Homo-oligomer: A and B are copies of this chain.
């Protein structure tokens, strides 16, 4: 298996981007990544998107984007695993380069969510249609049940949930691409509109348009380009039942635990060696459970760790320096790729005000549905 690198990154700002169509968004991110890498062609392309069919009435988007980028002919495929679609795109590019079939592959993600579709319905298609969505449950409701279970089992508090959002907005305030570049305090979160008890508006990631892309290449290509690059030390995935009712423990996310175990093994590292992480905080409770599944803290201790500042910039292990899904925004198909971009910037030492000192090893954790799928990448700085 060949070693694989990331040699270029590009993304659009995240937000309500009424002026850009799906194809415009993707092309902007893809061209920025190609430019950043300094490559003059790509051998193939993977695009993560959750449901461009339901959001904007367009399937077959990979060929569309190859055409719109002015490179018809290039092999291109769309990949999907709900909100983990972006992570899958990076993973498929990794396999193609690792196999030797391709040298330079673009992995991107895009979603256009603010275009008139019934967003809550579309997102609910990531849950089990026959056993969950049909009966009216939506994602805030599913994660509220996870939060209730975590509160019941471990004594996690309302304040601790709020502190996840406060930290992520603190970071997002420093990110020019973030959708909500504002600081918030604990009281504002706790007094925001109730969405699904105990989750309030400021516990939830927003509805976002955006695109992100990275260039994945062989080590030979990476060295020839003579620009900063990072090595993909691990690409791991795991699934779990889509429906919450099939899980043994509502306060756990087994797909995250399994994917993490595989990723740490592939990379030959332990969690304490990671310098910076981007994790899937679609709701504040998700960040807490994910921290526990990744092995950053013991089960039930994530809330206290966040409130104590362990995961802030300058803390023991900074988490979501980009602002996370909460502040940066969550264009579902693009999120997994945008997480990789933040870690690449950290490992390049190019994260500006958000820089983690001496970051050498980073991790991204991208999740679909209520934890039905999870993709983890571990990235290492090269110089």
Contact = CB atoms under 8 A, between A and B. Distances in A.
Interface of A: 1-2, 21, 23, 44, 50-51, 53-54, 56-60, 62-64, 66-67, 72-82, 88, 91-92, 95-96, 98-101, 122, 125-130, 133, 235-243, 246, 254-255, 258, 368-369, 372-373
Contacts of A127: 60
Given A80-B77, A92-B77, A255-B73, A241 B67 contact: yes
A76 B128 CA distance: 16
Contacts of A372: 60, 63-64, 67
Contacts of A91: 77
10 contacts: A23-B130, A57-B125, A58-B125, A58-B129, A60-B82, A60-B368, A67-B372, A73-B238, A73-B240, A92-B95
Given A2-B99, A74-B239, A95-B95, 12 more contacts: A50-B59, A51-B59, A53-B122, A59-B80, A60-B126, A63-B239, A66-B239, A67-B372, A73-B254, A75-B236, A77-B79, A95-B96
Contacts of A67: 239-243, 246, 372
A75 B238 contact: yes
Contact of A129 (B57, B73, B369): B57
Nearest to A102: B95
A80 B80 contact: yes
Contacts of A239: 62-63, 66-67, 72-76
B258 A73 contact: yes
A304 B127 CA distance: 51
A364 to B, nearest CB: 16
Which secondary structure dominates where chain A touches chain B?
mixed
A122 to B, nearest CB: 8
A81 B61 CA distance: 7
Nearest to A77: B88
A274 to B, nearest CB: 21
A73 B242 CA distance: 11
Contact of A81 (B21, B77, B96): B77
Contacts of A58: 125, 129
A214 B215 CA distance: 31
A258 B73 CA distance: 7
A91 B44 CA distance: 13
A42 to B, nearest CB: 12
Nearest to A121: B57
A76 B81 CA distance: 8
Given A59-B50, A67-B239, A369-B63, A78 B75 contact: no
Contacts of A50: 59
Contacts of A76: 81, 237, 239, 373
A40 B57 CA distance: 40
A56 B373 contact: no
